[in-house]
Structure formats: structure tokens, C-alpha cells
């Protein structure tokens, strides 16, 4: 068949249009086509997203939420694949379509709302600090000239610096790649305090450490979804609303030790 210029252009337009149509899919069709929901989760945050070294299985509140979303969209909570993320790379994984959504203690901020769609809030927290009992540190004011460890890519460093200004304390913030490396640094005396969301600190409590009484800012956790993907966001919100209405969310908080 001989192609005229007009026919060639028409075919090119059709191909481009189909490509754009696929790109603009509502996200639900894309997930159903894949047959699996891919979710970015933490693997080092007890209570939220934790890879159990004994069972090699993920567990926590956010894991259960991900399973509930998979059941909502695909009909089975087993149709979910977990991808480990941290505060530094979770945004990139979402932007690069390595995951369909991120459920990883992701705090909602006005700045982040410009780049992502967020679900309804499923947990509210505040930033706290953990110290060694033997350090003699009992309040934020005792952190003068001390080293405070924070997780790379988290909002914690801004909160702690603002708190230091408010309290009139000079301190040195040092970043670490993960929560576990922060706890190890505290244990080994590399830092004087470990700062992160209060509920996460509770997952690292042992007989040698304590959490200071002061808490700072309000941290609201939500599911992060790529921008302009309202169909997926709607399904996630339906899941969260049902968990709250049925009382199941409250049960999950108790199950994972997130009620203090």
C-alpha cells in the first residue's frame, strides 16, 4: 500500500493520540492492567513499615493500609508488591513511576501538595527527641552545643532548627541515611540525641534510652500519589474513610502499638 503524506501524518497523529491517552489513564486502569499494586513503604519503622528479619515479611499500619487499597482496587490484599523506600528517595520513586503510591510516614506540607496528590490523613504525630538515660539530658534546653541526628530528606531538620531558635539553644544537626543508623549512632555516642516523629521513636525504645517531654510541630501522614491522579486518590480515600468509620483504623493503631 502506498502511503501519502496525508495518510502518514494521520497515522502519526493517531499514534501520538493513543500514547497520550495511555499516559493520561486514570491510574486505576494502569494498576489493573499490571495486576498488582506497587507501594513504596518503609522497612525500618516499627509500627508503620517494618521488614521483620525473622519472617521476612512486611508488617505495620502502613502495610495494612496498602493491603486494604489493593483489595479495594484489585479485589485481593495479596495483589500488592512492596518496594522499600526512605525519606530521601521516596519522592523520586513516585516521580519515576517505580511505585503507584507511597505509604511511608509521608508528612503532608503545603509545598509537597504542589507536587503530589495526598489522601485523607490516617495518622497525626509530632517531632520528639530520644537521648541516652546516662546522658543527663532531660529537656531540650540541655542540648546546647550537642549533636542531634536526623534522617536525610525528612522535615525533621527544619523542625528541630526552628525549635532551637525558639528555645535559644545552639545545636549541631547531623544527617544519617536511616532510622536504624541513627539509633546505632546514639548507642555508640556519635550523637547526643535522635530526632524524628514521636511514634517512630517509640519503636526504638529500650532500657538505655528515654524520650524527652517536649514535642514540636504537627506531622500529618497521608498516602502520596502522583499529581493529577484523582481516580486513584478517590479509591485510597474510600479505604481510609471505611477504616475510620468501621473502627478498624483504631484497632490497627492498637495492634501496632501506636496508641500512647
Compute the distance between CA of residue 220 and CA of residue 218 in angstroms, rounded to an integer.
6
> What separation in angstroms does the CA of 2 have from each of 10, 11, 15, 50, 136?
14, 13, 19, 61, 86
The full 3-state SS of 207-253, as one line of letters, equals CCEEECCCCEEEEEECCEEECCCHHHHHHHHHHHHHHHHHCHHHHHH
Provide the pLDDT for residue 125: 94
Q: Is the pLDDT of residue 7 over 60?
A: no
Provide the pLDDT for residue 17: 45
Q: Which residue has the cell 514535642?
A: 215
Q: Is the pLDDT of residue 15 over 70?
A: no
Residues 174 and 244 in one domain: no
pLDDT (tens digit per residue) in 50-106: 999 999 999 999 999 999 999 999 999 999 999 999 988 999 999 999 999 999 999
Based on the structure, what is the number of domains in the chain?
A: 2
Provide the pLDDT for residue 12: 47
Q: Give the H/E segment covering residue 49.
A: strand 49-51
Residues 163 and 211 in one domain: yes
Whether residue 219 contacts residue 126, with contact meaning beta carbons closer than 8 Å, is answered with: yes
Q: Is the pLDDT of residue 2 over 80?
A: no
Q: Which residue has the cell 478498624?
A: 248
Q: Is the pLDDT of residue 20 over 50?
A: no
Provide the pLDDT for residue 228: 87
Q: Is the pLDDT of residue 3 over 90?
A: no
Torsion of CA 106, 111, 117, 119, to 10 degrees: 50
Whether residue 86 contacts residue 178, with contact meaning beta carbons closer than 8 Å, is answered with: yes
Average pLDDT over residues 29-53: 96
Residues 18 and 142 in one domain: no
Q: Is residue 209 part of a domain?
A: yes
Compute the distance between CA of residue 146 and CA of residue 107 in angstroms, rounded to an integer.
26
Residues 214 and 227 in one domain: no
Q: Is the pLDDT of residue 24 over 60?
A: no
Compute the distance between CA of residue 193 and CA of residue 140 in angstroms, rounded to an integer.
10
Provide the pLDDT for residue 5: 53
Q: Is residue 65 part of a domain?
A: yes
Residues 144 and 192 in one domain: yes
pLDDT (tens digit per residue) in 109-131: 999 999 999 999 999 999 999 99
pLDDT (tens digit per residue) in 166-196: 999 999 999 999 999 999 999 999 999 999 9
Provide the pLDDT for residue 241: 98
Residues 61 and 130 in one domain: no
Residues 179 and 116 in one domain: no
Compute the distance between CA of residue 29 and CA of residue 35 in angstroms, rounded to an integer.
10
Residues 234 and 167 in one domain: no
The full 3-state SS of 133-199, as one line of letters, equals HHHCCCCHHHHCCCEEEEECCCCHHHHHHHHHHHHCCCCEEEEECCHHHHHHHHHCCCCCEEEEEHH
Q: Is residue 162 part of a domain?
A: yes
Q: At a CB cut-off of 8 Å and minimum separation 6, what does 24 contact? A: none
Provide the pLDDT for residue 1: 44
Q: What is the mean pLDDT of the chain?
A: 90
Average pLDDT over residues 150-161: 91
Strand ranges across the sheet with 224-226: 80-84, 37-41, 101-102, 224-226, 116-118
Provide the pLDDT for residue 16: 47
pTM for this structure?
A: 0.83
Q: Is the pLDDT of residue 260 over 80?
A: no
Residue 169's domain comprises 126-219
Amino acid at each position: 500500500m502506498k502511503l501519502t503524506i496525508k495518510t502518514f501524518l494521520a497515522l502519526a497523529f493517531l499514534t501520538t493520540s493513543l500514547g497520550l491517552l495511555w499516559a493520561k489513564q486514570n491510574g486505576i486502569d494502569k494498576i489493573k492492567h499490571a495486576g498488582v499494586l506497587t507501594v513504596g513503604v518503609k522497612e525500618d519503622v516499627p509500627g508503620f513499615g517494618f521488614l521483620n528479619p525473622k519472617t521476612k515479611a512486611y508488617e505495620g499500619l502502613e502495610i495494612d493500609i496498602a493491603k486494604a487499597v489493593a483489595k479495594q482496587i484489585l479485589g485481593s490484599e495479596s495483589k500488592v508488591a512492596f518496594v522499600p523506600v526512605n525519606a530521601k528517595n521516596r519522592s523520586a520513586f513516585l516521580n519515576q513511576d517505580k511505585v503507584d503510591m507511597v505509604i511511608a510516614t509521608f508528612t503532608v506540607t503545603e509545598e509537597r501538595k504542589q507536587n503530589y496528590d495526598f489522601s485523607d490523613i490516617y495518622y497525626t504525630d509530632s517531632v520528639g527527641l530520644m537521648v541516652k538515660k546516662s546522658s543527663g539530658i532531660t529537656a531540650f534546653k540541655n542540648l546546647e552545643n550537642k549533636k542531634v541526628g536526623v534522617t536525610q530528606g525528612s522535615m525533621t531538620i527544619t523542625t528541630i532548627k526552628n525549635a532551637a531558635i525558639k528555645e535559644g539553644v545552639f545545636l549541631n544537626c547531623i544527617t544519617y541515611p536511616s532510622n536504624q543508623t541513627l539509633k546505632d549512632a546514639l548507642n555508640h555516642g556519635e550523637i547526643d540525641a535522635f530526632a524524628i516523629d514521636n511514634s517512630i521513636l517509640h519503636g526504638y525504645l529500650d532500657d538505655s534510652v528515654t524520650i524527652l517531654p517536649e514535642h514540636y510541630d504537627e506531622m500529618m501522614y497521608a498516602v502520596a500519589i502522583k499529581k493529577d491522579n484523582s481516580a486513584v486518590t478517590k479509591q485510597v480515600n474510600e479505604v481510609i474513610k471505611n477504616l475510620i468509620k468501621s473502627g478498624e483504623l483504631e484497632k490497627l493503631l492498637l495492634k501496632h502499638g501506636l496508641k500512647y
